[in-house]
Structure 1
Amino acid sequence: MSQRLSFDFSRRPLVPYAHDYAHGAAEPWHFHDCAQLIHTLSGVVKVETQHGSWVVPPSRGVWLPAGTRHALHTVGSVAARTLFVDPLARADLPASCQVVQISPLLRELIVTALTLPEQYGAGSRAERIYELILDEIRVMDVLPFGLPLPESERLLALCQQIQQAPGEAWTLKRAAAQLCVAERTLARHFSRETGLQFSDWLRRARLSVALTRLAQGDAVLTVALDLGYESPSAFSAMFRRVLGVTPANYFPVAEKRVPR
C-alpha cells in the first residue's frame, strides 16, 4: 500500500526541500497530491513507477506529475534538491513522468528557493523567483533516460528478461523468435506499447545500467564489455551522443560543486 504525502500550498505555489542520501538508500512506494521535480546534484537516482523506470544522472532532474506512485533507489552519495509543486500553479505543467535537463538558471533558482520565506508580499523578490521557477519548469528539455514498460504480459516478461541480462546479443530477430511472432508484428506491438523502437529501448536499458555502474565506480572498459559493446570507444561514442561528454569525464564533472 502506498503512502500519501501532502503539502500546504496556501502560502506559496511550491515547496523546496533539500535532502542528501547515502549510497544504497531507498524510499518505499508512495505518492504526492502535488507534482514533484527531483534535481540531483551528485549521485544517481532511479525512480520506479507502475509504467516504467527513470534513471536520473547528476545535474539532471526527474518530473513526476501529481498522484504518481513511485519508489526511489540511490547509487552513490546523492545530493537531491526537490520542488513540490502545486498542480494548479500552472495550467501547462508537464503531464507525464520524464527525465529533464536542468538549466543553469533553474539550478540556481532551486538553490535560492531554499532560502525564501513561506509568506511574501505581491511583487516581492520571493514572488518573482517562485514565478520564474514555474516558467522554467514549463520549458525544461526532456532527456531520453526513461525506460517505459509495456502492459501486455508477454512483452513485459521480455523486457524484464532483457533488463536482467542487458549485455546479451539482443536483437529484434532474437526477441521475435523467442515470442514466436514475426519481427514486424513484434516491432509494431513494441512501439505501440512503449512508444519506442525495440533498438532504442534496448539502448536506453543499457544506458540505465551503465549510469548506475559508473556511479558506483566501475571501470568504463568493464561496463562497456559487460553491456555487449564491441569496444570501450563504441560505448563512449554512444554515451557522448546522449550526455555530451565521455563516461570517463561525466561523473567527476557533475560532482565538482554541490550547493547547500
Structure 2
Amino acid sequence: MDSGDRDNPHIPYRDFHDEASRPVLSRGHDYPSSYELQAHRHRRGQLLYASTGTLAVTTPQGSWLAPSERAVWIPATTPHAVRMIGTVSTRSVYVDRVVAEPLGDTCRVIAVSPLLRALLVAAVDVPPAYDFDGRDGMLMALLVAEVARAATIPLALPLPTDRRLASRCSHFLEQPRMTESIDHWAAGLGMHRRSFTRLFRRETGMSFAQWRQQACLLAALPRLGAGEAVTAVALDLGYESPASFSTMFRRALGRPPTFYRA
C-alpha cells in the first residue's frame, strides 16, 4: 500500500479501542446475510474470523475469501471493505503494531485450528483492561502466537496493476466463466501467449488458470449463500457439469457447495 492509501481522508478509520493500552483486543459482532461494511481501516492490525457464514474482504490489492475454518489477517491501516455471505457472526482481534510484526504486512487467509478457534471465541469475553501478566494476558499472547504459526491458505484474488490487464480482469469479474482461455485473453491484449502468461503471473503471483478458478469461486459463494441451486451456479460459471464444479469446490474449500447453500 502506498502512502496515498494510508493518508486518504476519504477512507475512514473504524477504531473501537483507541483508548485501550493493551496490545491485543477482541470484539464480536453479528451481521445479517449480504450486509456490507464500506471501505475503512484500523490503526491496529485485524484478524477477522467468521464463526458462522463466510467473509469476502476486498482491498486495493485484491480480494480474500474466508469461509468456515478460515480467517483473514488485515495489516494496520489497510483499506478494506467486507461483504457477508450468509448470516455471519464475527470474532475480530485487533493487534497493536508492537506485537503484530510476526503476523506479516500483507493480507492473507489463514487456517483456523481447533485451538485457535477456541482462543478466538474466548478472547471476545476478555475485558479491554485485562491483566497483562494474568490468565487473560497469557490467552491473548497465545492467540497471537497461534496466528503467527497458522498456515496460509490460497483463497486470494490478487488484482494486477498493469492498466490493460487490470481492465480485462475487472471486466471478467463482472461475469466470470471457466470457458475463457489464455489464448482469448492474449489475443484481446494483442500479446503472444507466452508473453501474456509471464505478465499475468508477474502481476498476480498466480497462473491464469488458478486466478480464473478463484474468481469463479468468489462469484459462486454469494449465489449459493442466497439459495441458488448448485446446478444453475455451475452452468452459469461455464462448468461442464455440476459434478466438475463440486469437485473444484471441495478441493478448494474442503466442503461441497451444498454446505454453503442457504
Say whether the fold is shared (TM-score over 0.5).
Answer: yes
1:251 is the counterpart of 2:260: yes
- What are the superposed Cα offsets for residues 172-206 of structure 1, whole Å, 9 maximum, x if unpaired? 00100111110111111111111011111001001
1:1-260 aligned within 5 A: 1-6=10-15, 7-8=17-18, 11-121=21-131, 123-167=133-177, 169-248=179-258, 250-251=259-260
Counterparts of 1:98 and 1:142, CA distance in 2? 7
What RMSD over aligned residues (CA atoms) do the two structures have, in Å? Answer: 1.8
Q: CA deviation at 1:138?
A: 0.1
**Mapped contact 1:58–1:251 kept (Cα < 8 A):** no
Q: CA deviation at 1:11?
A: 3.4
Q: CA deviation at 1:212?
A: 1.7
Q: CA deviation at 1:123?
A: 3.9
Q: Give the % identical residues.
A: 38
**Mapped contact 1:29–1:69 kept (Cα < 8 A):** yes
Q: CA deviation at 1:132?
A: 0.4
- What are the superposed Cα offsets for residues 56-78 of structure 1, whole Å, 9 maximum, x if unpaired? 22332111001101112222211
Q: CA deviation at 1:9?
A: 7.2
Q: CA deviation at 1:225?
A: 0.9
Counterparts of 1:85 and 1:183, CA distance in 2? 44
Name the SS for the 1:32 alignment partner.
coil
- What are the superposed Cα offsets for residues 224-247 of structure 1, whole Å, 9 maximum, x if unpaired? 111111111111111111122222
Name the SS for the 2:48 alignment partner.
strand
Residues 1:38 and 1:90: Cα distance change in structure 2 (over 3 Å): closer
Q: More deviation in 122-131 or 15-24?
A: 122-131
Q: Which residue number in structure 1 is paired with residue 4 of structure 2?
A: none
**Mapped contact 2:85–2:221 kept (Cα < 8 A):** no
Q: More deviation in 47-56 or 120-129?
A: 120-129
Counterparts of 1:9 and 1:101, CA distance in 2? 31
- What are the superposed Cα offsets for residues 22-42 of structure 1, whole Å, 9 maximum, x if unpaired? 122211211111100110122
Contiguous gaps of at least 5 residues in structure 1:
256-260
Name the SS for the 2:58 alignment partner.
strand
**Mapped contact 1:20–1:80 kept (Cα < 8 A):** yes
TM-score, with normalisation over the residues of structure 1?
A: 0.91
Letter in 2 for 1:100: I
Name the SS for the 1:72 alignment partner.
strand
**Mapped contact 2:221–2:260 kept (Cα < 8 A):** no
Aligned residue pair count: 252
**Mapped contact 1:45–1:75 kept (Cα < 8 A):** yes
TM-score, with normalisation over the residues of structure 2?
A: 0.90
Q: CA deviation at 1:128?
A: 1.2
Contiguous gaps of at least 5 residues in structure 2:
1-9
Counterparts of 1:37 and 1:101, CA distance in 2? 12
